[in-house]
Structure 1
Amino acid sequence: MEPFARLGEVLRTQGYAVTAAVLEDGADRMARAGVTPAVVGPVAERTMWSPSPTVRRVAHLNPGLMYLQMRRALTRHAKALAEGLAPLLLGDAVVVSGLPTARLVPLLQARGVPARLALMAPLTPHPTGTSAWSHPFTELLPRAVEVPRQRLLWWMTTGLSAALAREVARRLPGATPWSAGRATPRLGPGATRPTPGAPPTAAPTAYLPLLATSAALDASPSPGVHQVGWWADPAPVDPLPPELADHLERHPGSVLLALGSMPADRPDQLVDRLAEVARRTGRPVVMQIPGARTGARGTVFVVGEVDHRALLPRVVAVAHHGGAGTTHAATAAGLPQVVVPHLGDQAHFARQVHRAGVGPAPLRPVLATARTVADRLEQALADPAYGRRARAAAQLMASEDGLGATAQIVREMAAGAPAG
């Protein structure tokens, strides 16, 4: 949701009337960006996850189980979500969709609505280049096997929104519910744009999906996407809390530990685990752990939500879980990184950090102990090559304007749309 709040803020400042379809817990963030929130469903925890804590806990341990429980949850809420979404799609509008509503894109394009899918990770198939579906083992497979494997994963991922697309299609004139649930955003260069207002066609004509990642991390994305660059936060930088700023002043050379995905029954238990990492490195540490008790504990400072643009320039390295936002923020700050991926696209960004030379090899969660994380951090700081490559990657990111490039695409889409 955060990247779309940033896009909405930029489009609003350029004079567009921007409405964001959000779940209940996303409304405040959109409102702060000056974007009109349209709440279409309950909070994300209810909409996308099982109501059973046990099922959620087990699903976090296995990508396949996570996919099944998310698909079941989204299917259960599809009718209610469609009731809120469909009226927003009946007017004259340009639509930029995230992955949770991917199957709406071909449905809208078939009706002549200018619509694009925006991805925060390279989830599209690309066996010989950058793809979140690649893995050191599968890269050894022949292309005859790897190509259909990646296509299947792409189809399954966009299929999370299949039930929603069918329900929305039932509420849009001229749409076909059966095909809406089966069509996936089609990839490939040379796609043509539909004629606004034209009757539905038998097969949707796709714009290329937008890939909001930096070339510093994804140097070889699929030719079937349009890489625009990372959507950096356009808002003014929020200053650090005075206590944290003072702590960093008194403890130069601090390391940031933002391993928020490491399993822990309580946030303060994670603080205790990471304190051992701090002890082993012998360096001052900032721990970013939402929900934990904040404040200084000797040379360790625990903090919750802070602006990374203010914090990262004050530390010398960062260990994190590999989320798209954290990885791009650390890369933009020119910092060596250690990544311990857990879920989703985190494994992809962990590999790309290592391949870009801005950090050592990632740690699997089962191998992430206080000793191994501390050893990786010392490796990242001891080898000056990591720092040099990190600064070069930051310079490349500074030359990109992902939000500006996306806004230009929206302008081009709007130029061919009906008035309004």
Structure 2
Amino acid sequence: MTVLILTTGTHGDIAPFIGLGRRLRDSGYDVAIATYAAFAGQVRSSGCEFRRLTGDPSQLGVAEQGRLKKPGPGDTLRAGRWLKNIVQHVEELSGDLVTAAHQGADLLLCCGLTTFYGYHLAKALGIPSMGLALQPLHPTGDFPPPIGAPSLGRRGNRALGRLMFTTGLTPWRSSPRFCRELGVPALTTAQTLRQTARERWPVHYGFSPTVVRRPADWRPGIEVVGYWWPYEPPGWQPPRELVDFLDRGPEPVRVGLGSGGDPRDREEISALLATALRRAGVRGIVQSGWAGLEVTGDDVLTIGDVPHRWLFPRTAAVVHHVGAGTSGAGLRAGVPAVTLPTFGDAPFWARRLVALGVSPGFVPLNKADPDRLAGLIRAAVDRPGYRARSRRLAAALAAEDGAGRTVATVRRLLDPPGPHRPTTIDLGARAADPDRDVSGG
């Protein structure tokens, strides 16, 4: 039986689902992952089938939202343009989603921007589906939605969470146009949220309940299962230059922004990091990331991609942009964190790391200065409490099996086993004749 994972986003958004796909494959399922061509090699190396979605993750505007610029009156307008572009991008993906499903699927795992699109597609095909997410998006009074907002109290938090879905200001968007083309009820984002609640549509959140406890006011069917760790190809070896640098002195501090930086700010951010590391008096490993960061010196090494699971445990602390995946990797490694949040869910995770006692604090990237960053680095390295709490949390994460819990739910959704073949959906015919039934019954 074939499980099809629909997923979009940057590397940190995709990698956990590739890891989950591999776990499903090891459990006896055929697994296909529909995502961008940029990740085709990673998908195939995991043993999963690659199915192409049109788009380039570097063009999603993530870097633009994380520019090293001071806050100003134009931020709201820029964020509005970014959201509009994202909405248009997902609409453009709709045909690719149908094509991917037509290549064979018995169950859809719907992730990221494709979540509600995949839910409606599965309805049209008559096959089961479930939602997967890396950030806690369902409304709750326990905390505000992960959009950078501070807590507004229980009523305010829940109201803001609902407003996100009412106004469509959420990564989970529904398209009435797409629904009509599929021949299913044309539901808005808020209507889809209500329908999935009535059906108790299963949703798994791929982070640890030790990091964010499941809110008691969430409906049945929503679970916090634990992290889905990225797939690591066997036989990977670190560059000799990196091994030699680690062997030459005390544990360094790893610094990187992943997809959170912008190449236009390369020199300014690199200079900021170089000065902060020097003033903190620590050795540093800088990962270049999307911004192409480069810091040179006797006590600093700039490198490219290296698996977090290998690198992070060999460091004294990690400085990062607080993506969900990188945050989890740091916790798994048992090392303290200093964070430079940009936008989206980054401030949410930055606050959680402080609340957990594994981070001395954070400074937004566009407000960072070398002295403040150096002070946080020194606190993370010098104060043993951060390291001790990080290690205790890492031990708790090691006892969890998020992928195993999701595999168990997939098994229940596909039991009793039986052939579920996608119904042919003619989007062209639906667009030409909106009254024609192409839902397959």
Cα displacement string for residues 3-56 of structure 1 (whole angstroms, at most 9, x for unaligned residues): 11111111122221212221232323222222212113132345x449xx9899
Give the 5 Å matches for 1:15-414.
Answer: 15-46=28-59, 48-49=60-61, 64-65=76-77, 68-78=80-90, 80-89=92-101, 92-108=105-121, 110-111=123-124, 112-129=126-143, 131-132=145-146, 135-139=149-153, 143-155=154-166, 156-158=168-170, 161-163=173-175, 166-167=177-178, 169-172=179-182, 174-176=183-185, 178-179=186-187, 183-186=191-194, 205-221=199-215, 223-224=218-219, 225-235=222-232, 236=234, 238-260=236-258, 261-262=260-261, 265-290=264-289, 292=292, 297-414=297-414
Distance 2:70 2:162 in 1: 24
Distance 1:19 1:113 in 2: 15
- Structure 2 unaligned segments of length 5 or more: list them: 1-13, 421-441
Higher RCO (CA 8 Å, separation ≥ 6 residues): 2
Secondary structure of the equivalent of 1:18? Answer: strand
How many residues end up aligned between the 2 structures? 396
> Contact 1:121–1:345 at 8 Å: present in 2 too?
yes
Distance 1:76 1:181 in 2: 15
Distance 1:364 1:57 in 2: 11
The 1:305/1:248 distance shift into structure 2, 3 A limit, reads same
Cα displacement string for residues 356-394 of structure 1 (whole angstroms, at most 9, x for unaligned residues): 111112223343211101101111222221111111100
Distance 1:266 1:9 in 2: 36
Distance 2:295 2:365 in 1: 27
> Contact 1:130–1:219 at 8 Å: present in 2 too?
no
Secondary structure of the equivalent of 1:124? Answer: coil
Cα displacement string for residues 314-367 of structure 1 (whole angstroms, at most 9, x for unaligned residues): 111111111111111111111111111111111111011001111112223343
Distance 2:278 2:145 in 1: 37
Residue in 2 that maps onto 1:4 = 17
Moved more, 214-223 or 258-267: 258-267
Moved more, 398-407 or 101-110: 101-110
Cα displacement string for residues 106-125 of structure 1 (whole angstroms, at most 9, x for unaligned residues): 42565553111111011221
Secondary structure of the equivalent of 2:19? Answer: helix
Q: CA RMSD in A?
A: 3.2
> Contact 1:121–1:211 at 8 Å: present in 2 too?
yes
Residue in 1 that maps onto 2:433 = none
Secondary structure of the equivalent of 1:352? Answer: helix
Distance 1:273 1:134 in 2: 24
> Contact 1:106–1:180 at 8 Å: present in 2 too?
no
The 1:136/1:37 distance shift into structure 2, 3 A limit, reads same
Distance 2:70 2:89 in 1: 21
Report deviation, 1:180: 5.8
The 1:352/1:306 distance shift into structure 2, 3 A limit, reads same
Distance 1:63 1:17 in 2: 44
Secondary structure of the equivalent of 1:162? Answer: coil
Q: Sequence identity, in percent?
A: 26
The 1:3/1:185 distance shift into structure 2, 3 A limit, reads farther
Q: Give the letter for the 2:274 counterpart.
A: A
The 1:63/1:95 distance shift into structure 2, 3 A limit, reads farther
> Contact 2:271–2:295 at 8 Å: present in 1 too?
no
The normalised TM-score by structure 1 is: 0.83
Report deviation, 1:131: 4.9
Distance 1:255 1:381 in 2: 8
Distance 1:229 1:345 in 2: 18
Report deviation, 1:253: 2.4
Distance 2:417 2:78 in 1: 38
The 1:358/1:54 distance shift into structure 2, 3 A limit, reads closer
The normalised TM-score by structure 2 is: 0.80
Distance 1:335 1:121 in 2: 22
Cα displacement string for residues 247-306 of structure 1 (whole angstroms, at most 9, x for unaligned residues): 010022211112343566253443222110111011111111226477962111111111
Report deviation, 1:211: 0.6
Distance 1:212 1:377 in 2: 28
Q: Give the letter for the 2:244 counterpart.
A: D
The 1:170/1:37 distance shift into structure 2, 3 A limit, reads farther
Residue in 1 that maps onto 2:11 = none
Cα displacement string for residues 217-276 of structure 1 (whole angstroms, at most 9, x for unaligned residues): 213446332011001134247332110110010022211112343566253443222110
The 1:254/1:227 distance shift into structure 2, 3 A limit, reads same
Report deviation, 1:70: 4.0
